[in-house]
């Protein structure tokens, strides 16, 4: 899929197909975000919710449920659940990373403070948990509670792997599964489960979400070295935060002694000087680390599409396939 | 009840009665705290778990379930759930308060860092959520998800009320219900619910937990001005953090203009100088704010006992009544 089709934005097309349900999700999010006693809560979250994002995760839940013929009300609850978990994670990430920008806007913890980010994140987690309990499905609760644990575990693993030059691609994949893919796969899986879809369909939905999430995160990590201002990301954030992302792991694997010393100083020891980011980019290009990372993202996108191919053809299925293409089109 | 009886520590007696179940709870906590991929997690939590505390909350759940004749395995899951939620809250509180001490030991965020406290707290929340899902009781899930939301809301409310001299006793009570009583009442209520106890017994257990929690927190806030080093609390922490706790609210209600200026400078503006804490204590004593606060703690302890009195007599019930006495005996 080329840039021309990418420009037509399949997630927007999917958003149009799911417009009525997405309106219901947004309404539910607004209602449940409110707090009678603590007006600070919607103030903090409105900042994130208005910034928008693509609402990709809740759309995945709605799409999965509809593809499986669901006609009850609870896919809307689950979509809102997934978005609440995502937003809570962002709020806690902002504390953790001391990052100055999120989606091109100042992060909540600069506008407010670390305290509000931690506690409002906790509030959204609790709200998500209330929402999923309302569905009355213990299967759904099991999937989403497991996903929550995997997310937190992945974030902690990322923390301990940061600055560690011996981090393997396996460990990187485990971090990515935690911080991103776990919520994608839970989002698609619960859509199938709430619709009472056959086991192999639920498995296909899980596999699709998992591979899409991995692909999505690899692209995100790639854009941190490759990106433009249009993505709202600061180039080199991961380098400055000394994160062991895939491009770095690949460049390290091919580093000579001088290069290894450079990575040791900048990443392991955190002694970064003017021109270091530029030199890091040179090394990444020299060893084809960005191209190799891109190839992995494409392979995961292909896996995602292959999983969906086992499901009956439908307009929504085809738009999800287009989304798997679009995710990697960002680095075409 | 006087100091003599208090010295015999009824929660230790209850711990002895529930010894087998408490062992099972501690074993479950150890197992579920472990993380294959992120060894940082048990390192951070072991610090809190070893520090011990009285394990009062999980004991309340076990006691409630046993009092209601429960003989299944899930009260142990619920007790561990409650302790995980409590520990997660402590970890996030430590980030939030930038407090240097907890239970007389350095807090996790000084030994490790804010990042670990936030993420490991999230991990424990997720684990608690997995544990309660395993009980298969939607009623339990509803109660504990509601409690989680109330806790987070209370913490945010406390944040916005801090430094606000117009904070009312009603707002204070709302904060206390959130930060403390919500988990106490959920702990006792789910014990009754898992035992399938009659509605009025479940209500009595809820009322007991709620009143005990309020009493417990009022005493805690009182000890912040009244305490000794034996409690492991730094006297004046709340003053330094400019928290609007009950003693302060009561002293403010009787403050003349000069005193009001003092509170405005030290609490609202945060301009604190040598001798200010001592002067604050003088003002609290002058207006009987500490005595009045103590009287409220006693009244809530009485409410807790009255709620239990509606349940059939048993050894456990009588020990819970002793605990309600013991909580306030700390300020006798």
Lookup: tokens for B91: 């970890």
Q: How many domains does chain A have?
A: 1
User: What pLDDT, on the 0 to 100 scale, is given for residue B41?
Assistant: 76
Strand partners, B244: none
Lookup: tokens for B177: 């219900």
Domain annotation covers residue A332? no
Domain annotation covers residue B71? yes
Taking residues B16-31, what's their average pLDDT? Answer: 92
Question: Is residue A297 within 8 Å of A193, Cβ to Cβ?
Answer: no
Residue B265 sits at φ, ψ, to 5 deg, of -65, -50
Inter-chain contact A152–B92, Cβ cutoff 8 Å? no
User: What pLDDT, on the 0 to 100 scale, is given for residue A125?
Assistant: 95
User: What pLDDT, on the 0 to 100 scale, is given for residue B160?
Assistant: 82
Q: Say which DSSP state A177 is in.
A: I
Domain annotation covers residue B234? yes
Measure CA B121 to chain center: 16
Closest Cα in chain A, distance from residue B37 (Å) = 7
User: What pLDDT, on the 0 to 100 scale, is given for residue A162?
Assistant: 81
pLDDT-based confidence at B35, cuts 50/70/90? confident
The ipTM value here is 0.88
d(CA A265, CA A1): 40
Could you say which residues from 22 to 41 on chain B have a Cβ atom under 8 Å away from some Cβ of chain A?
A: 35, 37-41
Domain annotation covers residue A331? no
pLDDT-based confidence at B312, cuts 50/70/90? very high
d(CA B256, CA B262): 10
Inter-chain contact A115–B142, Cβ cutoff 8 Å? no
d(CA B261, CA B274): 17
Closest Cα in chain B, distance from residue A128 (Å) = 9
Helices A19-33, A40-51: inter-axial angle, 10-degree rounding: 150
User: What pLDDT, on the 0 to 100 scale, is given for residue A2?
Assistant: 42
Please name the member of B114, B125, B142 whose beta carbon is closest to the beta carbon of A95: B114
Lookup: tokens for A249: 């792991």
pLDDT, one tens digit per residue, over B224-241 is 998 654 555 668 888 998
Ranges of residues in chain A whose predicted pLDDT is under 70: 1-7, 37, 47-53, 96-112, 227-234
pLDDT-based confidence at B99, cuts 50/70/90? very low
Question: Is residue A239 within 8 Å of A280, Cβ to Cβ?
Answer: yes
- Mutation choice for B interface testing from A129, A131, A161, A168 by most B CBs within 10 A: A129
Closest Cα in chain A, distance from residue B286 (Å) = 32
User: What pLDDT, on the 0 to 100 scale, is given for residue B43?
Assistant: 74
Angle, alpha carbons B25-B53-B179 (nearest 5°): 95
Going from the C-alpha of A81 to that of each of A45, A233, A330, B15, the distances in angstroms are: 14, 26, 27, 38
A213 in helix, strand or coil? helix
Question: Is residue B42 within 8 Å of B35, Cβ to Cβ?
Answer: yes
From chain B, the residues in CB contact with A40 under 8 A are 156, 159-160
Please state whether A104 falls in left (phi above 0), alpha (psi between -120 and 50) or beta: left
Domain annotation covers residue B330? no
Inter-chain contact A138–B142, Cβ cutoff 8 Å? no
Q: Which of A107-116, B4-13, B147-156, B216-225 has the lowest mean pLDDT?
A: A107-116
User: What pLDDT, on the 0 to 100 scale, is given for residue A7?
Assistant: 45
Lookup: tokens for B284: 């609290």
Inter-chain contact A159–B40, Cβ cutoff 8 Å? yes
A106 in helix, strand or coil? strand
Inter-chain contact A38–B145, Cβ cutoff 8 Å? no
User: What pLDDT, on the 0 to 100 scale, is given for residue B93?
Assistant: 84
Helices A40-51, A114-134: inter-axial angle, 10-degree rounding: 80
pLDDT, one tens digit per residue, over B280-307 is 999 999 999 999 999 999 999 999 999 9
Helices A19-33, A114-134: inter-axial angle, 10-degree rounding: 120
Inter-chain contact A146–B138, Cβ cutoff 8 Å? no
- Mutation choice for B interface testing from A88, A156, A176, A179 by most B CBs within 10 A: A156
User: What pLDDT, on the 0 to 100 scale, is given for residue B103?
Assistant: 44
Inter-chain contact B122–A125, Cβ cutoff 8 Å? yes
User: What pLDDT, on the 0 to 100 scale, is given for residue B52?
Assistant: 58
For residues B129 and B117, the model is more confident at B129
- Mutation choice for B interface testing from A91, A95, A159 by most B CBs within 10 A: A159
* Residue B114 forms contact with A (CB below 8 Å): yes
Please state whether A13 falls in left (phi above 0), alpha (psi between -120 and 50) or beta: alpha
pLDDT-based confidence at B162, cuts 50/70/90? confident
Structural domain boundaries enclosing B67: 10-318
Domain annotation covers residue B1? no
Name, in order, each residue with C-beta under 8 angstroms of A46's C-beta and a sequence gap of 6 or more: A33
Domain annotation covers residue A315? yes
Inter-chain contact A130–B116, Cβ cutoff 8 Å? no
Tell me which residue has tokens 């009472």.
Answer: A196
Domain annotation covers residue B5? no
d(CA B319, CA B63): 9
E-assigned strand segments in chain A: 101-102, 105-106
Please state whether B52 falls in left (phi above 0), alpha (psi between -120 and 50) or beta: left
pLDDT-based confidence at B48, cuts 50/70/90? low
State which residue of chain A sits closest to B157, comparing Cα positions: A38
Task: Supply the CATH number for residue A100's domain.
Answer: 1.10.600.10
- Mutation choice for A interface testing from B86, B97, B145, B154 by most A CBs within 10 A: B145
Closest Cα in chain A, distance from residue B168 (Å) = 13
Inter-chain contact B138–A133, Cβ cutoff 8 Å? yes
CB neighbours of residue A227 within 10 Å: 19
Q: Which of A272-276, B26-30, B246-250, B278-282 has the lowest mean pLDDT?
A: B26-30
């Amino acid at each position: 899929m080329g840039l021309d089709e990418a420009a037509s934005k399949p997630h927007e097309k999917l958003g149009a197909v799911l417009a009525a349900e997405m309106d219901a999700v947004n309404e539910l999010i607004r209602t449940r975000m409110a707090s009678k006693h603590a007006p600070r809560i919607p103030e903090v979250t409105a900042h994130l919710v208005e910034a928008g994002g693509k609402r990709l995760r809740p759309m995945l839940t709605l799409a999965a449920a509809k593809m499986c013929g669901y006609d009850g009300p609870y896919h809307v609850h689950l979509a809102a659940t997934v978005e609440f978990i995502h937003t809570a994670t962002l709020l806690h990430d902002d504390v953790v990373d001391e990052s100055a920008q999120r989606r091109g806007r100042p992060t909540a913890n600069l506008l407010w403070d670390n305290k509000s980010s931690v506690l409002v994140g906790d509030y959204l987690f609790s709200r998500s948990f209330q929402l999923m309990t309302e569905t009355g499905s213990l299967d759904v609760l099991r999937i989403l509670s497991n996903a929550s644990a995997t997310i937190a575990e992945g974030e902690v693993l990322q923390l301990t792997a940061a600055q560690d030059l011996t981090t393997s691609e396996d460990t990187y994949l485990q971090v990515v599964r935690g911080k991103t893919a776990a919520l994608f796969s839970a989002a698609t899986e619960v859509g199938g489960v709430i619709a009472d879809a056959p086991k192999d369909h639920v498995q296909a939905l899980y596999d699709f979400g998992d591979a899409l999430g991995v692909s999505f995160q690899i692209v995100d990590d790639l854009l941190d070295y490759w990106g433009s201002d249009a993505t709202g990301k600061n180039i080199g954030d991961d380098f400055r935060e000394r994160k062991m992302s895939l491009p770095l792991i690949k460049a390290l694997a091919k580093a000579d002694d001088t290069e290894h010393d450079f990575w040791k100083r900048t990443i392991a020891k955190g002694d970064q000087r003017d021109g270091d980011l530029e030199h890091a980019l040179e090394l990444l290009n020299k060893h084809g680390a960005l191209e190799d990372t891109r190839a992995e993202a494409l392979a995961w996108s292909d896996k995602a599409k292959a999983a969906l191919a086992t499901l009956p053809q439908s307009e929504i299925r085809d738009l999800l396939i287009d989304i798997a293409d679009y995710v990697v089109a960002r680095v075409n």
